[in-house]
Amino acid sequence: MKAILLAAGRGTRISRMIEDVPKSTLPIAGVPLIRRTAQMLLDSGFELVVCVGYQASKIYKALEGLPVNYYFNPFYNVTNSIASLWFAREELQGDSIVLNADVYFSKEILDLVLNDKHDVSMAIDKTRTEVGDYFFSTTDNGCIEKYGKELPLSSRSCEYVGLAKIRGSFMEKFHERLELLVETHQHSLWWENVLYSFTDTKEQNIYTVDVGGRFWAEIDYFDDYERILKHIEKEEEALVRSAPNLRRAY
C-alpha cells in the first residue's frame, strides 16, 4: 500500500511567523513533523511517496535517510495540491492513502481510516464544527453532501482531518478524474476536489471515518502548532505521573 504525502505548498497563512521554513518541517518533540509522519507510515508497511515544491531541499533534509520516492512540482507557487498530486500520478495504482504533510495525527487515527471497508473514505472529526478550517455536511450514513471553508454552521457535520484512503478498485476512476481536472486547467483546486467532484455529480459516494475526538491538528496558523506542542507536553506529563505506578506494578 502506498502513502502519498503532499508537501509542496508555501503555507502562506503561517509563513509570516516561520519565514522560509516549510510548516511540515516544524519540530515536534525535536523531530520534524513530516519525518514523524513518514516514520509512522514506513513502520506500518507503506511505500512512501512525497510531493515537494516550496523549499524542497528542507523537506529532503528532514527526511534524510528514509526510503522515499520524490516528485517535484515546479509550479507550486501558482498551483494548488491537485497539481502536486498530478506530478506523482504514475504512483496512483492499487490501495493508497493520500494526506497533507502539515497534519499531526496518531497511529490510532491512521488505523481507523485503514480499517474502514469503503472504497473511498476521508477522515473527519464530528466534535469540531464551530471552529476549524474545512467542513463537511454528511448524510446519515456518513457520505459527503456539501463541503467548504465557508460552509454555514447550520450545515456542518464535521471538520475534515486531511487524510483519505482510496482503494485500488476506485483508483482508475480517481486517476482519470485527476487527469481531466488538470487538463481543463483547474490547477487551483485542492487534491481533494478530485473526490468532491464525484459527490457533485452523484457518481460515487465518498464516505467519511470519524476520528472520535482523538487529538489531531493541521498547521494552518501558528496557534495550531502551539496546540500540538501543548498536547505533547500534556502527554509527557501524564507519562511522568504514571511512572511511579508502573514501577510499583513491577
Q: Is the pLDDT of residue 247 over 60?
A: no
Average pLDDT over residues 117-134: 95
Name the pLDDT band for 239 (thresholds 50, 70, 90): confident
Which of the two residues, 180 and 212, has the higher pLDDT score? 180
Please report the sign of the dihedral spanned by the C-alpha atoms of residue 153, residue 157, residue 163, residue 168.
negative
- Cell numbers for 169: 478498485
Does the domain spanning 2-249 belong to CATH 3.10.20.30? no
pLDDT over 90 percentage in the chain: 84
pLDDT tens-digit map of 171-203: 999 999 999 999 999 999 999 999 999 999 999
Least confident piece of the model among 8-12, 67-71, 114-118: 8-12
pLDDT tens-digit map of 71-109: 999 999 999 999 999 999 999 999 999 999 999 999 999
Name the pLDDT band for 238 (thresholds 50, 70, 90): confident
| pLDDT score at 18 | 55
User: Cβ distance 87 to 164 under 8 Å?
Assistant: no
pLDDT tens-digit map of 13-64: 555 555 678 999 999 999 999 999 999 999 999 999 999 999 999 999 999 9
Q: Which long-range contacts (CB under 8 A, 24 or more apart) does 58-66 make?
A: 58/21, 58/22, 58/25, 59/7, 59/22, 59/24, 59/25, 59/34, 61/25, 62/24, 62/25, 62/32, 62/34, 62/35, 63/32, 63/34, 63/35, 63/38, 66/35, 66/38, 66/39, 66/42
Cut 0.85: pTM above it:
yes
| pLDDT score at 102 | 95
* CA–CA dist 241, 23 (Å, integer): 32
Average pLDDT over residues 226-236: 91
| pLDDT score at 240 | 81
Which of the two residues, 246 and 127, has the higher pLDDT score? 127
